[in-house]
Amino acid sequence: MAYGKMKEFLQTELKSVRDGGLYKEERYIFGPQGADIKVEFPAGAPQKEVLNFCANNYLGLSSHPETVKSAHKALDDWGYGLSSVRFICGTQDIHRQLEQKIAAFLGLDDAILYSSCFDANGGLFEVLFKEEDAILTDALNHASVIDGIRLAKAKRYIIKHMDMEDLEKQLSSPEVKAARFRVFATDGAFSMDGDVAPLAKICDLCEKYDCLVMVDDSHSTGFMGKHGKGTHEHCGVMGRVDIITSTMGKALGGASGGFTAARKEIVELLRQRSRPYLFSNTLGPVIAYSAITIIDLLSKSTERRDKLEKNTMYFRKAMTEAGFDIRPGVHPIVPIMLYNAKLAQDFARDMYAEGIYVIGFFFPVVGKGLARIRVQLSAGHEMEHIDKAIAAFIKVGKKYDILKKSKDEIIAKYGL
Ligand code: PLP
């Protein structure tokens, strides 16, 4: 039996994942996503009510009554599925409406929908960039940007994370200058650090060296910038970014779906040639219609992104004052630096016991010796939720004696 040999190999692989402490156990949530959730962890343990500080539910819209109401309406009016790719018989009026709404909201010419942002990134680069082109890419870009670039035949240049000197050095190299087209691809906000790409400087440099700018704004669409348009609004470069990819799987309702918004001809060619668009089923009508409702909601009022900003700044300030080592910034992703992987795991476990659901991240998800707990704020959090989280952090922080301690002191105590 062919599988016998492979089975043994896979069992060994799985054992090494477990032995390395890298095995990911899934935790079951009972009921809808939100600030208060019921979780069963570990498997078989009694369900526990916890406050959720680890979802990408930035605007608290995942189970919001408006979202759910529009999903019900969509089911009634447009059915459940289309059983077709877009170009055969999988395009309803709402799919095109959503594309136009996204483009108008982001200030770009047009947009094209995908089943996910992973697909949007996967189907982007190979259509536009060939052997004679150059793709420059931030070293910490999301896996889907990396994979999308891998599929293209263009030459690839990795830029040190958010290092503008390195970007200029590589843009001005004879090889990159000789390319037919150039593009610099970056996440708008980076998911592990919550840092925001310096898009003003990036646009200046890219304009100087005749290079397009592509931003994956999955962790920003809907809430970064004064009107929630994203990091291009936050950085004051609307109209200067050529391509934005993003997801409906985070702030915009959290179900699934992605898109590429870009200049007119780019979107037109993607519709002709982008493989995950051409060869994969259309987005469910429920998602298309609910996303329209959400974009309308966000276009009318900035209330939810304002609340998220207030929650974020409140949490960041209180945690800094309490003596935690947090990476500074303005994004609702707040990394609480612990450096040691075991400490991050133990800390997260103790927070769970206190009723606060947060996750410890360590190598290889982040660099060696950079273990942390990543907190994600939401407009779905009320002040009392945030105060409870802060109080639990302080209690557990005292237990491990890491408050008001420098990085070196934490490392001296716990090692790397
Ligand atoms: N890009 C970034 C920066 C992300 O964080 C993610 C999700 O983790 C994706 C793309 C993929 O988005 P989706 O879940 O829509 O495939």
Verify whether ligand 1 is closer than 6 Å to residue 216 (CB atom).
Answer: yes
Name the nearest CA neighbour of 67 among 255, 294, 307, 308: 294
Q: 352 and 283: one domain?
A: no
Helix, strand, or coil here: 10?
helix
For the stretch 78-126, pLDDT in tens is: 999 999 999 999 999 999 999 999 999 999 999 999 999 999 999 999 9
- Tell me how far the alpha carbon of residue 371 lies from the centroid of ligand 1, in angstroms: 21
List beta partners, residue 246: 259
- For residue 90, tell me if it sits in a domain: yes
- pLDDT number for residue 20: 81
- pLDDT number for residue 25: 86
Q: 273 and 392: one domain?
A: no
- Tell me how far the alpha carbon of residue 258 lies from the centroid of ligand 1, in angstroms: 8
Q: 295 and 342: one domain?
A: no
Q: 244 and 358: one domain?
A: no
- Residue numbers of the domain that contains 277: 65-300
Ligand 1: residue of 112, 118, 331 to mutate (most ligand atoms within 8 A of CB) is 118
E strands of 267-364, at which residues?
A: 333-339, 356-357, 359-361
> Could you give the percent of the chain with pLDDT greater than 90?
94
Q: 271 and 184: one domain?
A: yes
| Final residue in a domain of this structure, among 284, 300, 316 | 300
Asked if the model's pLDDT at residue 216 lies above 90, the reply is yes
Ligand 1: residue of 124, 140, 218, 248 to mutate (most ligand atoms within 8 A of CB) is 218
Q: 316 and 245: one domain?
A: no
For the stretch 247-281, pLDDT in tens is: 999 999 999 999 999 999 999 999 999 999 999 99
142 is catalytic: no
Q: 295 and 327: one domain?
A: no
Taking the C-alpha atoms of residue 140 and residue 190, their distance in angstroms, rounded to an integer, is: 7
Ligand 1 atom at shortest distance from the alpha carbon of 248: 15
- Tell me how far the alpha carbon of residue 57 lies from the centroid of ligand 1, in angstroms: 13
Ligand 1 atom at shortest distance from the alpha carbon of 189: 3
Tally of domains in the chain:
2
| Final residue in a domain of this structure, among 246, 275, 300 | 300
Q: 233 and 154: one domain?
A: yes
Examine residue 328 and say whether the peptide bond preceding it is cis (omega within 30 degrees of 0). no
Q: What pTM was computed for the model?
A: 0.97
Verify whether ligand 1 is closer than 6 Å to residue 117 (CB atom).
Answer: yes
Burial code (b: 16+ CB inside 10 Å, e: under 16) for 222-258 equals bbbbebbbbbbbbbebbebbbbbbbbbbbbbbbbbbb
- For residue 131, tell me if it sits in a domain: yes
Ligand 1: residue of 144, 196, 214 to mutate (most ligand atoms within 8 A of CB) is 144
- For residue 284, tell me if it sits in a domain: yes
Task: Write the CATH number for 101.
Answer: 3.40.640.10
Q: 74 and 128: one domain?
A: yes
- pLDDT number for residue 24: 86
For the stretch 87-98, pLDDT in tens is: 999 999 999 999
Q: Are 279 and 139 in contact (CB under 8 A)?
A: no
| Final residue in a domain of this structure, among 270, 300, 330 | 300
Name the nearest CA neighbour of 244 among 117, 361, 350, 352: 117
Please give the mean pLDDT across all residues of the chain: 97
Q: How confident is the model at residue 323 (pLDDT cuts 50, 70, 90)?
A: very high
Q: 99 and 231: one domain?
A: yes
Ligand 1 atom at shortest distance from the alpha carbon of 187: 3
219 is catalytic: yes
Q: 259 and 327: one domain?
A: no
Q: What share of the chain is helix, strand, coil (3-state, %, to 5)?
A: 45, 15, 40
- For residue 4, tell me if it sits in a domain: no
For the stretch 360-370, pLDDT in tens is: 999 988 988 99
> Could you give the percent of the chain with pLDDT greater than 70?
100
Given the residues 219, 229, 307, 331, select the one marked as catalytic: 219
Helix, strand, or coil here: 351?
helix
Task: Write the CATH number for 28.
Answer: 3.90.1150.10
Q: How confident is the model at residue 306 (pLDDT cuts 50, 70, 90)?
A: very high
- For residue 8, tell me if it sits in a domain: no
Asked if the model's pLDDT at residue 41 lies above 90, the reply is no
Given the residues 70, 116, 144, 191, select the one marked as catalytic: 191
Q: 111 and 232: one domain?
A: yes
Supply 331's token pair.
Answer: 């994004």
- For residue 204, tell me if it sits in a domain: yes
Verify whether ligand 1 is closer than 6 Å to residue 191 (CB atom).
Answer: yes
Verify whether ligand 1 is closer than 6 Å to residue 188 (CB atom).
Answer: no
Q: How confident is the model at residue 151 (pLDDT cuts 50, 70, 90)?
A: very high
191 is catalytic: yes
